Chains A and B, each alone.
Chain A
Amino acid sequence: MLKSPFLAETGAIARFAGRFFREGFRPPYEVRELLYQCYAVGYQSLPMVGITGFIMGLVLTLQSRPTMAQFGAESWIPTMVGLTIIREMGPIITALIFAGKIGSSIGAELGSMRVTEQIDAMEVSGTNPFKYLVVTRVLATTLMLPVLTVLADGIGLFASYVGINTKGTTTLALFTNNILSGLTFGDVLPAVIKTFFFGFAIGLIGCYKGYHAEKGTEGVGQAANSAVVVSSLVIFILDLLAVQITGLLGIN
């Protein structure tokens, strides 16, 4: 029988996700650990996400100005940058940064717990390690990435306002009005909704890679590394799916 490691692993991740849904919503709940993970995953990523969001907004604005000026369309810059950030750049850049920071740390943390038998120790003490370690982390990444994305969008738009005001003067009111006039719910909602899926994928893949780390230090490194690589790839695939779905719904 022909065996594809790729398909085997895809199947294993799907089963892992199935286990998350089966076990995640049954009591007892690890509320304290969930809150701690939200803090660790969300709050502690804020500086990183804030800085990248700011630079993203600023650079987009400064780079699009000359081209827009050629067409005499400088007044369209806020609308264009706003749409770009909210629909695509905000979610995708935040998700990639998040995958790099959180995906790798989850992979390494669970990987070294697996290698040093700490996960086995939880299991033999009658605790469900899947619930304590995996469910809390996946929920935390799923809930926190959308929040971080919205914050990064906001910071990026503010940076855009700063960028516009480096040459010429635009009031905040005009800038805001300009953005909002070009924006519909069809732009905002799908963009926010897809970040839930991004967050879920990052948490799930990081946990899967760590939870199934092979023995040894090398296994931990591989878990951390492949958590980032695979989840980054999955983010792009999900993004592609999202644009197809919004296209079918007629809100592109």
Chain B
Amino acid sequence: MLPQAPPATAKASAPAEAVLTVDHVSKSFGDKHVLRDFTLTVRRGENVVVLGKSGSGKSVLVKCIIGLLPVDEGSITVLGQDVAALDHEAMDRLRAKLGFLFQSNALYDSMTVSENLLFPLRRQWLAHTPAQEKDMVRQALEDVGLADTADKMPAELSGGMRKRIALARTLILRPDIILYDEPTTGLDPITAREISGLLREVQQKYNTSALIISHDMNCVRLTADRVALLVDGRCYAEGTYEELEQQDDPQIHEFFAA
């Protein structure tokens, strides 16, 4: 499919402050080097897509950022804090400002949709009264267009709806940065486009920054302000979707030709 007029626009004005910096990070499992000297910066209000083939280490990158995996070398700075230097409690506080959307959604399947949303809310003490809680849940569900699913169980929902609920659960904490791990994988093209649109809406409505891991070129085109190409654990190329699309380099061309 040919790219249509892209809605993504590069920010021409002075660069905003960096909210997420991945600085020369290396990570290996045994003798398998997943990330080698990888460097990337996300600025406030910006959607950055990390594009790479399956198994190129994209998911490892986000897991390092969120602190689920330790890095071997280099440092990761989120909202001015070095992730590796944080203790458990400081990490928990930071994670409240850092949303993470799992590829598998990871909804709590023994809880209803509203309980799923209340779970992080109650533990971060963001709502002070039951009415406020209810209001925030309703607002988060409305943001993703699923206001009437509050009492359903995750198993009763379709794949696209589950993705939306997972996004609502991330949004309810009003994060500054959201990490999306392959947000459109496993969805049909129409639903995938809707989800991509939703990512844009979220960015505009709440002025969040986002790091999006993807290999779905439609999703990349619709959501990216900037694209970083991850090849062999390195940041191979960086630029807007249009800039990269016009490159002749075979490694880059490979992604855009499909």
Contacts and interface: CB of A to CB of B under 8 A. Distances in A.
Interface of A: 28, 109, 113, 116-118, 120-128
A126 B124 contact: yes
A125 B123 CA distance: 9
B92 A121 contact: no
Contact of B119 (A123, A127, A128): A127
A127 B108 CA distance: 13
Interface in B122-141: 123-124
Contacts of A122: 119
A121 B108 contact: yes
A125 B124 CA distance: 9
B123 A126 contact: yes
Contacts of B107: 118, 121
A125 B102 contact: no
Contacts of B100: 121, 124-125
A124 B102 CA distance: 10
Contacts of A124: 66, 68, 95, 98, 100
Contacts of A28: 123
Given A116-B106, A122-B119, A126-B173, 6 more contacts: A28-B123, A118-B109, A123-B95, A126-B95, A126-B96, A128-B92
A116 B104 contact: yes
A50 B98 CA distance: 49
Contacts of B120: 125-127
Residue of A120, A121, A123 with highest tally of chain B CB at under 10 A: A121
A136 to B, nearest CB: 13
Nearest to B102: A117
B164 interface: no
A179 B123 CA distance: 51
A209 B124 CA distance: 28
A29 to B, nearest CB: 12
B102 A121 contact: yes
24 contacts: A116-B104, A116-B106, A116-B109, A117-B102, A117-B104, A117-B106, A118-B107, A118-B108, A120-B68, A120-B106, A121-B100, A121-B102, A121-B107, A124-B66, A124-B95, A124-B100, A125-B123, A126-B95, A126-B96, A126-B124, A127-B92, A127-B123, A128-B88, A128-B92
Interface of B: 66, 68, 88, 92-96, 98, 100, 102, 104, 106-110, 119-120, 123-124, 169, 173
A113 B106 CA distance: 9
A113 B107 CA distance: 10
Contacts of A117: 102, 104, 106
Contacts of B102: 117, 120-121
Contacts of B123: 28, 125-127
Residue of A109, A123, A124 with highest tally of chain B CB at under 10 A: A124
Nearest to A32: B122
Nearest to A125: B120
Contacts of A125: 95-96, 100, 119-120, 123-124, 169, 173
A116 B155 CA distance: 13
Contacts of A120: 68, 102, 106
A113 B102 CA distance: 14
A118 B119 CA distance: 12
Nearest to B179: A124
Residue of A113, A120, A121, A125 with highest tally of chain B CB at under 10 A: A125
B32 to A, nearest CB: 17
A227 B191 CA distance: 41
Contacts of A123: 68, 95
Nearest to B125: A28
A123 B106 CA distance: 11
A109 B94 CA distance: 28
A113 B123 CA distance: 19
Residue of A109, A117, A126, A128 with highest tally of chain B CB at under 10 A: A126
A127 B111 CA distance: 16
Nearest to A123: B68
B112 to A, nearest CB: 15
Contacts of B95: 123-126
Residue of B66, B123, B124, B173 with highest tally of chain A CB at under 10 A: B123
Contacts of B169: 125
Contacts of B66: 124
A163 to B, nearest CB: 42
Nearest to A124: B100
Contact of A126 (B68, B93, B106, B108): B93
A53 to B, nearest CB: 30
Contacts of A127: 92, 119-120, 123
A123 B108 CA distance: 13
Contacts of B124: 125-126
